[in-house]
Chain A
């Protein structure tokens, strides 16, 4: 029982990070029908910038409380990521809006490679440890334990998601975003500045990515120039699992993928009589993903028949 609870906690924490990144993919996809392959790298950049700021602060002013340092890291990383997201949209995607569908995919891959290598040139190839500035508290209940960092990740994620839903459902910008997602042309006829809406979408997605990047590096205790690739891949899978273009879907998909992974890692050995070990956890995740899509090609919460030829 304690293993079950523990995996549940781990899965929820991991899943909420996936969900935050997946939201960035799904918002852009909903509006542009474009896989923003560079989104994982924006997440990585968020983590790296925040770590650089925190590391510098920890050296310069060791007395400052950890939470303040973290806030400073966020305060620098979010604008950097937003600027990066806007720049990517402007340079790599906007000129190709009417090009064949695969062309922006290639520029997205190109941008990912550029960002990875820029990060490598700036911060080097080694793993960068997350400074031990955060409270290391650990709470035990029913045999499972949860750290303060994990609690903070969960709370923050829920808060961000609620805020995002509010923005999308209740504000003028949100209404413009939903209109643009339905039809760019009609939205622009109704007086929506489509370019501005798309830029705003990239800005919001990148800000979420920055937060998610910091969470991941705090959770694992390190950051690396290559960390965005797998994270982005999993988050994108989560977005597809939930039904790409659908905000609720991305949240559900992210949480599910996190849970599948952690339960897969915990139980796969028992399930297969010890034949397959926990290093097959990714196989497990992808297998579930494939199975879901084969039986429900539009994703869990996706609407049927919205795909365009």
Chain B
């Protein structure tokens, strides 16, 4: 939906780019270094949410096992760039490999589930996600492939032009920490994923996905190859998941099956539903919000001290409770999401009548 731009486009883009480029420094100065790492994590979740958005938001296939693809990407990276197998391939060689393997698994999962709809699909994808996680947890015997629950350690950080993203570097008289540099790398990938998502949305493929989401039988009747397009949705979503997984492994330096449990899949789903399903700005907002909110809620200890003079409940215990309350409250007041697409807002208004 191209809207008539009132301001010159280049100005908007320029300001946005400047803002994104300066963001880590502002955050660093305003909130502290640990928040820059959170920013990196938020970008990672934006990628994941955009990937899942293709499957759930565009094609309407409720996938509760999305984290499996994230795990695959991460493990491929860990296998090929850590002392675990003694391999240390460069990251630009591994990332596509992980993404491709994830895409393959996406198709493998998609193919037998083509006939399933709605909640049945949800439970099968959930089972798939759990199966992958359990294998990761147990494939340390008889041959040690995943190192079991201990996970894989000492994963190589990303090296770009000879500099490792885990150490600070001085450029033009300013010292960039690893977190800052990682931010720019992740931002690059996020923009790529965003760009692909945007182009897909208005393409023939994107419209076909929406048609399948709204009414699969009608879509098939109008000549849409629903089988191939559903498989494509799974594969595209999985590719982004695998990509994010590889980046996560390099960023964290350590992975274990615990990072890829069902709650993670559910969180990513919450991000897109809360933000506004099928709408890229909404999805991005949801991902950033849900990544930062639990951290921000750590400050409830200070609020308690200010309000009551002492800390009654450990903020670490309280924050997930508040998080749950926030999820419920937002959904009750904005059931179509915080930033819904025009189409969904319309659908919702129709359903109300």
Contact = CB atoms under 8 A, between A and B. Distances in A.
Contacts of A276: 138
The B interface, classified by DSSP as helix, strand, loop or mixed, is helix
B123 A289 contact: yes
Given A100-B336, A113-B324, A289-B124, A309 B119 contact: no
A293 B124 contact: yes
Chain B interface residue count: which class? 35 or more
A128 B124 CA distance: 33
B215 A121 contact: no
B344 A100 contact: yes
A181 to B, nearest CB: 15
Nearest to B274: A106
Among B320, B327, B352, residue most surrounded by chain A Cβ atoms (within 10 Å): B327
Contacts of A159: none
A260 to B, nearest CB: 12
Interface string A228-262: 00000100110010001000000000000000000
A246 to B, nearest CB: 13
Nearest to A239: B123
A107 B327 contact: yes
Among A95, A103, A307, residue most surrounded by chain B Cβ atoms (within 10 Å): A103
A272 B336 CA distance: 48
B352 A282 contact: no
B199 interface: no
A160 interface: no
Given A121-B321, A283-B135, A293-B120, A109 B266 contact: yes
Contacts of B317: 117, 120-121
B59 interface: no
Contact of B124 (A96, A100, A114, A290): A290
Contacts of A277: 138, 141
A240 B124 CA distance: 10
Contact of A299 (B120, B270, B323): B120
Interface stretch (B15-23, B39-47, B109-117): B109-117
Contact of A96 (B119, B269, B324, B332): B332
Among B216, B269, B270, B324, residue most surrounded by chain A Cβ atoms (within 10 Å): B324
B128 interface: yes
A101 to B, nearest CB: 8
A106 B134 contact: no
Contact of A294 (B124, B215, B320, B332): B124
A170 interface: no
A132 interface: no
B331 interface: yes
Nearest to B128: A290
B142 interface: yes
B87 interface: no
A62 B67 CA distance: 49
B142 A275 contact: yes
A118 to B, nearest CB: 7
B332 A95 contact: yes
A250 to B, nearest CB: 14
Interface of A: 29, 35, 91-92, 95-96, 98-100, 102-107, 109-114, 116-118, 120-121, 233, 236-237, 240, 244, 275-277, 279-280, 282-283, 286-287, 289-290, 293-294, 297-299, 307, 309
The 3 tightest CB contacts between A and B, nearest first, are: A110-B327, A113-B324, A99-B335
20 contacts: A91-B328, A98-B352, A100-B277, A100-B351, A102-B62, A103-B336, A106-B273, A109-B266, A109-B270, A113-B323, A117-B317, A117-B318, A121-B317, A237-B127, A280-B134, A289-B123, A289-B127, A293-B113, A293-B116, A293-B120
Given A102-B273, A277-B141, 12 more contacts: A91-B328, A92-B328, A99-B351, A100-B351, A102-B269, A113-B320, A113-B324, A121-B318, A121-B321, A240-B119, A283-B130, A283-B131
